[in-house]
Amino acid sequence: MRKLPSISHTQREKKMHKKSFTPPQKSGIILVFIVMGLVLFGLTMLYSTTSGSIGASLLVKQVFWISIGITGATIVNFIGYKKILPYSSYLIWASCILLILARFSRPINGAYRWIRIPGGIGNIQPSELAKLAIVLFLAYYLPKHQRQINSSIKNLIYPLFVCGIVLLLILIGKDLGTAILLAAVIWIILFVSGVKFRIIFPPLLLVPAIPIILKYYSRVRWVRITSFLNPERYQQSTGYQLWLSILAIGSGSWTGLGFAKSRMKAEYLPEAHTDFILSIVGEELGFIALLILILAYTTFLILSVYISTRAKNKEGMILGFGLSAMIALQAIINIGVVSGAFPTKGMPAPFISYGGSNIIICLISVGFLLSISNYRGIKKESGVTASSKLTRNKLQT
């Protein structure tokens, strides 16, 4: 008598459909150690930078923001990026609303980038959420419409329109640096997602036109940007911050003046605990400490790119590359600014500078990278899925 095929799943087959997340991978664990090392180093330097002037209030606030960021990263890693990506459009809408509210908030240093939180907790910067929202949105949209995009440029209009709206709102808030950073991240995402180069090449031709537009659009901004070419000449005006930053790093030499012995942080260098905290690192701990810090950022980039290339689907790959580019470019710009290689621009050092919005978004981004690293898709057994195994059993009977 022929044996009837069993329609019940065996215990072995049920395991094939179990949750598609595995224990943390080695690359993810190393990434966590590097990030935690950077965060702890940032807290240490924040204590050194503010202990003699502002006090411990900023340190307490930073610990509060870091705890929120770690909590957010843990939740993201637990839920998984695959379940979060479909809600990216809601984050876009939330970012746009917050950017509009920031435009009607009280300006700080002539820019409308922040929304003050009642109770003295601090400010939130909507453009930080906008960066993450754009990366999530493109990681969700592009893989689903890859064929249509490559067949006709018309199918790329919608995602570029969404990105353009966000960039425009950031520019209205007078945050040119973040807009340029986000535009670069968008271009990198389009490139790694496989969009034909003939489609994404024309925007590169507009890059040389940016200085010309700035020169005739705002002479004051043009002078501020170009002062980095000769900071000593403008040390009493637009080059004041950069000149003191260079002096701080130079006075530290190779080994530094010693922890908490900075002379620039107290009365001279503005924003020493935020955008120019690496200048204090160079002054107190020396050029060797800056080299180790650059090595840590480089290792973070290598690991995040490795995780992205090992992603099990295109959504994870695009998301990983986008987040890697977002954090890496921010670090490159900050290091370039404090050393005088780039024009002066308010761009915090990732995981180190004081600032709630930035540290939260950076840590949540790490949570997404861990989720990509841990995601393994539907598990298979010896290359045969459960459905194919059932089919084989039927054929044998």
What are the DSSP calls for 65-116, one per residue?
HHHHHHHHHHHHHHH-HHHHGGGHHHHHHHHHHHHHHHHTS--BTTB---EE
Bigger pLDDT: 221 vs 9: 221
Low-confidence winner among 12-26, 138-152, 290-304 (lowest mean pLDDT): 12-26
Examine the pLDDT at 138 and tell me if it is beyond 50: yes
What confidence category does residue 391 fall into, taking pLDDT thresholds of 50, 70 and 90?
A: very low
pLDDT at 218: 62
pLDDT at 177: 84
pLDDT at 367: 95
For residues 340 and 243, give the distance between their C-alpha atoms in angstroms, rounded to a whole number.
8
Give the pairing type, strands 122-124 and 115-117: antiparallel
Examine the pLDDT at 371 and tell me if it is beyond 90: yes
pLDDT at 13: 42
Are the C-beta atoms of residues 244 and 268 closer than 8 Å to each other? yes
Q: What is the dihedral of CA 254, 273, 70, 29, to 10 degrees?
A: -10
Tell me if 4 is assigned to some domain.
Answer: no
Tell me if 396 is assigned to some domain.
Answer: no
Summarize pLDDT for 161-200 with one digit per residue, the tens: 999 999 999 988 888 888 989 999 999 999 998 888 888 8
pLDDT at 99: 93
Are the C-beta atoms of residues 341 and 197 closer than 8 Å to each other? no
Tell me if 100 is assigned to some domain.
Answer: yes
The kind and range of the H/E element at 124 are strand 122-124
pLDDT at 14: 45
Examine the pLDDT at 75 and tell me if it is beyond 70: yes
What confidence category does residue 37 fall into, taking pLDDT thresholds of 50, 70 and 90?
A: very high
pLDDT at 54: 60
110-119, 141-150, 349-358: range with highest mean pLDDT = 349-358
Bigger pLDDT: 56 vs 389: 56
pLDDT at 235: 66
Enclosing domain of residue 74: 33-376
Q: Across residues 355-359, what is the average pLDDT?
A: 89
Examine the pLDDT at 3 and tell me if it is beyond 60: no
pLDDT at 42: 93
Tell me if 388 is assigned to some domain.
Answer: no
pLDDT at 149: 75
pLDDT at 55: 58
pLDDT at 306: 94
Low-confidence winner among 82-91, 355-364, 369-378 (lowest mean pLDDT): 369-378
What confidence category does residue 220 fall into, taking pLDDT thresholds of 50, 70 and 90?
A: low
Bigger pLDDT: 385 vs 301: 301
Low-confidence winner among 60-69, 85-94, 248-257, 302-311 (lowest mean pLDDT): 248-257
Tell me if 25 is assigned to some domain.
Answer: no
Bigger pLDDT: 240 vs 325: 325
Average pLDDT, the chain: 81
Examine the pLDDT at 38 and tell me if it is beyond 70: yes
How far apart, in Å, are the Cα atoms of 70 and each of 30, 80, 124, 215, 274? 16, 15, 17, 42, 20
Question: Cβ of 249: how many Cβ atoms within 10 Å?
Answer: 24
Tell me if 395 is assigned to some domain.
Answer: no
Q: How many structural domains compose the chain?
A: 1
Rounded to two decimals, the pTM is: 0.85
Tell me if 19 is assigned to some domain.
Answer: no
pLDDT at 83: 93
pLDDT at 369: 95
Summarize pLDDT for 228-272 with one digit per residue, the tens: 777 777 666 667 778 888 888 888 888 888 888 877 776 677 777
pLDDT at 96: 94
Bigger pLDDT: 384 vs 6: 6
Tell me if 382 is assigned to some domain.
Answer: no
